[in-house]
């Protein structure tokens, strides 16, 4: 049996790209008792309801900023997947208080509601931007990671356990560069900030399956990092519109040349497994580590998008985009994701 079978699952931010793909996968590949869509967007929920016609789905309007609504929604819930966040870097630089209310205070509300309602497992989605952050979005996600890891100590003798998954950019998701490039190709010119820029990339389906796998593995307190390929932003442009000219615009405020998923300091308390790294807490309350944890990482190990041993070439990027349906005119940039293959 899967961890998700016969369980009541709640997904925050479930009307986003990840949430919709998560519903696709869980309803098809698992046997949950029910899945609660928790989000603040009534229009997206109504559109999703037309697409997902399954009597195991419940529709809850609410905001992670509202602790009372969370407490009500978490009643009888076994598993929470926390995907709600504000994540547009330039917008959050201009609206910093709003970022803190959702990404940090919202995380605190999730933790309290989960403990008070006896939720078994909470897994929160994080990002490579949380590692050595240079913008407000990354800083709020770093704070959220700390809150969820330390939430295990806060839970005390309660059964609730918290873990984090941390991965890179999601191919084709809402807000990614791919819809932007697809639209810009009509002009004959694509704007790339820097030809040296590299990023980690993962598909929506891979991200969802990584989360479901980590729900099986988690004991509480871990940060799970998948082994995923890197690609150059300029290669994404070549994959989507090889006929277009490339205009170099320069790095934007709050942007890095490369991203890091696991730092040298974290490597000292992290282990490598076949398809992932696991960063364990250094706190004295952590007591779940065992010989099956994996291989201890070498001193000074750093997992970054520029020193990765797995790279995608333009033709491979295009093949993935075609397989995922992101180069179809009626699909690009849309929230409703393809059905699981």
Instruction: Yes or no: say if 41 and 15 are a contact pair by the CB < 8 Å rule.
Output: yes
Whether 104 maps to a domain, the answer reads yes
Instruction: Yes or no: say if 150 and 122 are a contact pair by the CB < 8 Å rule.
Output: no
CATH of the domain at 217: 3.40.50.720
Whether 131 maps to a domain, the answer reads yes
Q: Which domain does 133 fall in, by range?
A: 8-168+202-227+261-301
| Structural domains counted in the chain | 1
Whether 91 maps to a domain, the answer reads yes
Whether 245 maps to a domain, the answer reads no
The one catalytic residue in 7, 87, 121, 129 is 129
Instruction: Yes or no: say if 39 and 45 are a contact pair by the CB < 8 Å rule.
Output: yes
Whether 84 maps to a domain, the answer reads yes
Is 141 among the residues known to form the active site?
A: no
> What is the pLDDT, as a whole number, of residue 268?
93
> What is the pLDDT, as a whole number, of residue 328?
58
Query: What distance in Å separates the CA atoms of residue 159 and residue 118, rounded to the nearest whole number?
Result: 7
Q: At 252, is the secondary structure helix, strand, or coil?
A: coil
Whether 195 maps to a domain, the answer reads no
Whether 215 maps to a domain, the answer reads yes
Q: How far is CA 28 from the centre of its chain?
A: 21
Q: What is the mean pLDDT for each group of 10 consecutive residues in the chain (341 residues)? A: 93 94 95 97 94 94 98 98 94 95 98 98 97 96 98 93 95 74 87 93 94 95 96 92 92 89 96 94 73 82 96 91 66 45 41
Whether 217 maps to a domain, the answer reads yes
């Amino acid at each position: 049996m899967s961890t998700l079978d016969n369980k009541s699952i709640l997904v925050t931010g479930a009307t986003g790209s990840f949430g919709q793909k998560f519903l696709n996968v869980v309803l098809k590949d698992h046997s949950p008792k029910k899945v609660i869509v928790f989000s603040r967007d009534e229009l997206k929920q109504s559109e999703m309801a037309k697409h997902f016609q399954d009597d195991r789905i419940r529709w809850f309007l609410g905001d992670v900023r509202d602790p009372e609504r969370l407490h009500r929604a978490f009643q009888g819930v076994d598993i929470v997947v926390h995907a709600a966040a504000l994540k547009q870097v330039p917008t959050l630089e201009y609206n910093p208080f709003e970022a803190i209310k959702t990404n940090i205070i919202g995380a605190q509300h999730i933790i309290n509601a989960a403990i008070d309602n006896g939720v078994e497992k909470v897994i929160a989605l994080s990002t490579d931007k949380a590692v050595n952050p240079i913008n407000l979005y990354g800083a709020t996600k770093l704070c959220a990671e700390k809150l969820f890891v330390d939430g295990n100590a806060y839970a005390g003798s309660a059964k609730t356990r918290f873990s984090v998954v941390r991965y890179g950019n999601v191919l084709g998701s809402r807000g990614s560069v791919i819809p932007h490039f697809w639209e810009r190709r009509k002009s004959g010119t694509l704007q790339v900030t820097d030809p040296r820029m590299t990023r980690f990339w993962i598909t929506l389906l891979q991200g969802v399956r990584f989360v479901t796998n980590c729900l099986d593995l988690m004991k509480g307190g871990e940060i799970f990092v998948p082994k995923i390929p890197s690609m150059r932003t300029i290669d994404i442009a070549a994959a989507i519109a090889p006929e277009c000219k490339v205009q170099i615009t320069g790095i934007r405020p709050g942007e890095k040349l490369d991203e890091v998923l696991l730092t040298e300091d974290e490597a000292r308390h992290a282990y490598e497994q076949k398809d992932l790294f696991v960063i364990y807490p250094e706190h004295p309350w952590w007591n779940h580590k065992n010989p099956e944890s994996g291989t201890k990482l070498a001193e000074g190990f750093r997992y970054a998008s520029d020193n990765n041993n797995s790279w995608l070439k333009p033709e491979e990027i295009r093949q993935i985009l075609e397989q995922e349906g992101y180069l179809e005119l009626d699909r690009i940039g849309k929230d409703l994701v393809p059905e699981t293959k």
